[in-house]
Amino acid sequence: MNDVQAHDSQARENAEAEVMISLRELAKRFPGSREMAVESLSMDIRAGEVVVFVGPSGCGKTTTMKMINRLIEPSSGRIILEGEDVSDANPDQLRRRIGYVIQQIGLFPHMTIADNIAVVPRMLGWDKKRTNERIDELLETVGIPLEYRNRHPKALSGGQRQRVGVARAMAADPPVLLMDEPFGAIDPITRTRLQNEFLRLQEQIQKTIVFVTHDIDEAIKMGDRIAILRERSQIAQFDTPQKILTGPANDFVRDFVGSGATLKRLSLSFVADMPAADWPSGTVADPPEQLRQTLAQSRRDWLLLLGDEGRPHSWASAECLDRESPETAGRKVRCILDARTTLYEALDAMITSTVGSATVVDDNGYFEKVIDFETVREAIATLHAEARRLDRQGRDASDSGNPGR
């Protein structure tokens, strides 16, 4: 199954899942304003899917999300959570059922990491043992060492603080997470890493997530479905990333997605789905003559050397191996990707690579394969062919519905 088919399969599974959140004719007018901020929005969000709200600044996407947990009270409409109408429920009790992650993270600076994570469990009356076990479980889940438990937020990097923010939102195991531009204030390299970590985490936790962003590329990467919103949170299109890219519903969506749809579709494909490129490799413990022979037989200019326990170490040419021992030969491997890196990100990284390729590692940093420009080119060709097939299907369906054309 290729990546496009996998995306469609996941979309079908989501479509068959139970509805977790229903918004019915949701509307908001702020006091003193003549214009509606949100006008008559209705949608169903299914259990276990990531729905991304994206649109131009001021379109109402954050206001819409905040009405779900009633941080902003709707002017009218209904909010149904797990089949229960919570429009008039106690808002504090509602928020304990919904985790919330914001761009500024919002950790309490005077509290330790453990105490930050424990805020909601303690409000719910959890005992100390259960709370401490949950703290340790979540720190491990989001990749924060347990020895950081008693540190304060200022001792952590921005990316680490963001991961603690996610852990705090999940502390009481809520069925729903709201994420308001959670990676927006982080440098691009850390942002990509956190996005990949979040996708890995979602594979495990399978939460229902509403994710707000202004970045269409992030929406394509993160969302099972994307709601592209225009003024007053009017839905321009609510569909899978694949269908939005191959069949924009109107000119607004087409303009918002922008040019380069084929390249954007690379954000739907991951290096895990790509075949390995045929590159020679060896270890720093191998005899230099054996490495030179392997390189010569490959007809490549560079050979990948693996170090400790099979981790990428360096790229070495024949000249490097003639001058130095394998442990010091060559150029350090810098373009290292994990399985959740998109092809778009991989292509960007390979442009600056010494050898025009990238190494892919598992979650423990052990070498899995090499990908290069040729494998990416083949992936682009496959995506382009798939897009043309879907476009033909769309035209055929349109023609069959209009026999008089």
pLDDT for res 391? 64
In the chain, residues under CATH classification 3.10.580.10 are 273-378
The arithmetic mean of pLDDT across residues 154-161, rounded, is: 89
pLDDT in tens, 14-38: 455 699 999 999 999 999 999 999 9
Q: Is 382 exposed, middle or buried (0-12, 13-18, 19+ CB in 10 A)?
A: middle
pLDDT for res 194? 86
pLDDT for res 3? 47
Sign of the alpha-carbon torsion through 131, 135, 137, 138: positive
Label the pairing between strands 84-85 and 76-81. Answer: antiparallel
Residue 10 has pLDDT above 60, yes or no: no
| Cα dihedral: 205, 206, 210, 215 (round 10) | 80
pLDDT for res 89? 86
Residue 352 has pLDDT above 60, yes or no: yes
Pairwise CA distance, residues 274 & 261, whole Å = 20
Q: Is domain 273-378 classified as CATH 3.10.580.10? A: yes
Q: What architecture is domain 3-258?
A: 3-Layer(aba) Sandwich (3.40)
Sheet holding 84-85, edge to edge: 38-46, 19-28, 76-81, 84-85
Residue 339 has pLDDT above 80, yes or no: yes
pLDDT in tens, 52-73: 999 999 999 999 999 999 999 9
Angle formed by the axes of helices 373-401 and 343-351, to 10°? 140
Residue 396 has pLDDT above 70, yes or no: no
The arithmetic mean of pLDDT across residues 133-137, rounded, is: 94
Sheet holding 336-338, edge to edge: 336-338, 357-361, 367-372
Residue 239 has pLDDT above 60, yes or no: yes
In the chain, residues under CATH classification 3.40.50.300 are 3-258
pLDDT in tens, 240-262: 998 998 889 999 999 999 877 76
Residue 7 has pLDDT above 80, yes or no: no
Residue 75 has pLDDT above 50, yes or no: yes
Of residues 311 and 204, more confidently modeled: 311
pLDDT for res 196? 87
Residues in the chain, total:
405
Label the pairing between strands 19-28 and 76-81. Answer: antiparallel
The arithmetic mean of pLDDT across residues 175-187, rounded, is: 87
pLDDT for res 386? 73
Sign of the alpha-carbon torsion through 365, 369, 371, 376: negative
pLDDT for res 368? 95
The pTM of this model reads 0.78
pLDDT band, residue 363 (cuts 50/70/90): confident
Residue 293 has pLDDT above 70, yes or no: yes
What is the pLDDT of the chain when averaged over all its residues? 88
% of the chain with per-residue pLDDT over 90: 59
Task: Record the tokens describing residue 59, joined without a space.
Answer: 């379109």
169: Cα within 13 Å, side-chain hemisphere = 28
Write phi, then psi, for 100 (nearest 5 degrees).
-140, 125
Residue 148 has pLDDT above 90, yes or no: yes
Pairwise CA distance, residues 15 & 20, whole Å = 12
Pairwise CA distance, residues 55 & 228, whole Å = 6
